[in-house]
Amino acid sequence: MGTLRDLQYALQEKIEELRQRDALIDELELELDQKDELIQKLQNELDKYRSVIRPATQQAQQQSAGTLQGEQRTKRQAISAEPTAFDIQDLSHVTLPFYPKSPQSKELIKEAILDNDFMKNLELSQIQEIVDCMYPVEYGKDSCIIKEGDVGSLVYVMEDGKVEVTKEGVKLCTMGPGKVFGELAILYNCTRTATVKTLVNVKLWAIDRQCFQTIMMRTGLIKHTEYMEFLKREDVRTANVIAAEAVTCLVIDRDSFKHLIGGLDDVSNKAYEDAEAKAKYEAEAAFFANLKLSDFNIIDTLGVGGFGRVELVQLKSEESKTFAMKILKKRHIVDTRQQEHIRSEKQIMQSAHSDFIVRLYRTFKDSKYLYMLMEACLGGELWTILRDRGSFEDSTTRFYTACVVEAFAYLHSKGIIYRDLKPENLILDHRGYAKLVDFGFAKKIGFGKKTWTFCGTPEYVAPEIILNKGHDISADYWSLGILMYELLTGSPPFSGPDPMKTYNIILRGIDMIEFPKKIAKNAANLIKKLCRDNPSERLGNLKNGVKDIQKHKWFEGFNWEGLRKGTLTPPIIPSVASPTDTSNFDSFPEDSDEPPPDDNSGWDIDF
Ligand code: 6J7
């Protein structure tokens, strides 16, 4: 039996043990709280990413369009968000509003932007401009600042107070001072993805969409204008520069400099179309001008997408004449705000006369649909062939890449960028030559100019597009490198489980990618030269333009003339038995869709 002292000692030990356990429980509870907070934060981030990705990917999933899902390879959906800032020409003259604020407020806004995943990549000068432009706004307790589903026009930074963020009635988080909110709808041109309500009185700083986008776009523009102005100066030196001691200089001549920053004139716009070809196209246009929709029979479906369908049609009067008729739902175009893209697609395709671009002969429209009557290429989609074969050999990839180089050379010589290169948009004609199709994102930008539309297919988007720095034809050469890699291996080099992750991987650069052995040395070298982070260092965008690609070692001995004349034998010759043979295309169910409502009430598409 223990003495009282022993019992007291044991009691003390137990008390100490209990105290330690309590301390451990407190510690674990704290850890749990922190983890809960972290989970909440990650869930919010996830929700934010999903909110901006879903509008684009939802469709993709519905129409079985994307990436490798398990073993199933699905087609990828392109994304686009058009900025709505002032006219680009006027941008540099726009005076943005200036609202004075205390150094503390300036610092708070700056830190909030740097803390925001979607805005932290802005240049410091852009952040400074945003700080200057933001104006004060106040809301009382229980006010709704942002309503989910609304069209948003302001981005906010919270200076003081507390708000609650909800989505579909479910609480996502609460937020205090030093945070940005409302940026998603502005950056990604979508409706508000969540509701933000005040819990107490709040003080905010706000900037409107137009000022925000103007700041995003004009940084690059101003730099570009300065370079242009510099080049337009007289050749006479305006000052003496005398070496005060021995100096070493790196020099660049005027021609190279001009080329590196985009060139001043339409120097590369050489005439592709001679008089004979012109007469041929005019006669062709006259023939198609006389046709009506009722002059065609539908034979089979060549493709189906969120936009509508592509049908193989034949002329009733001459059944051997078949065409691909793309049928687009007007309602879908309006809902996805693609009117401008559709107009541009029509204009560019109708005036494109290249053997490496699918011809658009004419368009029709009725109250529900727009119709594009195009050349039928019955060899099938390159995407389908790649899916079935897994990957291509070096020489096969070279042939298709060369077809794209020719298409790009033609488009770029007319000041047009394509912006959606991928195997899904290459189609083989009956000979096996590849042609570019789907010009929904193509745009005439002219020479030495840039554009800011966020568009393309995530795996193929160039870093300057992701970073909203403005882009030009060099973005097409980036995508050419991605295409080469995908054709050689079966998968693109930069690919993540969702677009935001893909963008992060792209921004890490091509040097972070381990090239598999099946990509031969010369091919790897060309891919790396096409996928330079800096657009002005990309092959195709240097002094010698596209010639640098054509003369690259990977193309050594390639018969470019034979390709242009159509005498070069393609690596895969499709079997096309007749002008109505659709066996190279996947099968699609018949159109079971309810026809969309009659849509000529109140609006129409100029097409
Ligand atoms: Br703050 C915040 N957290 C979330 C979140 O978890 N999901 C979503 N979708 N939005 C969140 N927000 C902000 C974000 O800035 O709520 C804003 C609602 O308008 C959103 O930007 P918005 O879609 O323009």
pLDDT tens-digit map of 314-336 = 999 999 999 999 999 998 888 77
| pLDDT score for 498 | 72
| Cα gap 349→211, rounded to integer Å | 34
CA angle 115, 117, 123 (to 5 degrees): 75
Residue type, 390: G
Pull the structure tokens for residue 592: 């079971």
Q: Measured in angstroms, how far is the CA atom of residue 113 from the centroid of ligand 1?
A: 14
Nearest CA to ligand 1 atom 9: 48
CB 185 within 8 A of CB 151: yes
| Cα gap 334→547, rounded to integer Å | 41
Q: Which residues contact 227 (CB under 8 A, 6 or more apart)?
A: 261
Q: Indicate the pTM of the whole model.
A: 0.70
CB distance 116 to ligand 1 below 6 Å: no
Nearest CA to ligand 1 atom 6: 44
Q: Hey, which bits of 468-525 come out as E strands?
A: none
Sign for the CA dihedral angle at 128, 133, 139, 142 comes to negative
| pLDDT score for 66 | 41
| Cα gap 340→605, rounded to integer Å | 9
Q: Which residues contact 365 (CB under 8 A, 6 or more apart)?
A: 330, 371, 605, 607
CB distance 172 to ligand 1 below 6 Å: yes
Strand-by-strand arrangement of the 380-381 sheet: 380-381, 426-428, 434-436
Strand-by-strand arrangement of the 296-305 sheet: 296-305, 308-315, 318-329, 369-375, 360-365
User: Facing residues of 204 across strands?
Assistant: 137, 158
| pLDDT score for 410 | 97
**Atom number, ligand 1, closest to the C-alpha of residue 172:** 6
Catalytic annotation, residues = 420
CB 65 within 8 A of CB 75: yes
Which residues of the chain have a pLDDT value below 50?
Answer: 55-71, 85, 263-271
Interhelix angle 4-62/499-508, rounded to 10 degrees, is: 90
| Cα gap 335→329, rounded to integer Å | 10
| Cα gap 117→123, rounded to integer Å | 14
Residue type, 114: L
Residue type, 17: E
Nearest CA to ligand 1 atom 12: 181
| pLDDT score for 60 | 38
CB distance 163 to ligand 1 below 6 Å: no
CB atoms within 10 A of CB 298: 13
| pLDDT score for 263 | 47
CB distance 192 to ligand 1 below 6 Å: yes
Q: Measured in angstroms, how far is the CA atom of residue 45 from the centroid of ligand 1?
A: 9
| Cα gap 495→68, rounded to integer Å | 10
Q: Measured in angstroms, how far is the CA atom of residue 345 from the centroid of ligand 1?
A: 33
Q: Within 294-358, where are the H helices?
A: 330-335, 339-351
Q: Measured in angstroms, how far is the CA atom of residue 201 from the centroid of ligand 1?
A: 19
Q: Measured in angstroms, how far is the CA atom of residue 578 from the centroid of ligand 1?
A: 55
Q: 483 exposed, middle or buried (CB, 10 Å; 0-12, 13-18, 19+)?
A: buried
**Atom number, ligand 1, closest to the C-alpha of residue 181:** 15
Q: Measured in angstroms, how far is the CA atom of residue 114 from the centroid of ligand 1?
A: 16
CB distance 51 to ligand 1 below 6 Å: yes
CB distance 206 to ligand 1 below 6 Å: no
Q: What is the pLDDT of residues 110-165, one digit of tens each?
A: 999 999 877 887 888 899 999 999 999 999 999 999 999 998 899 999 999 999 99
**Atom number, ligand 1, closest to the C-alpha of residue 180:** 15
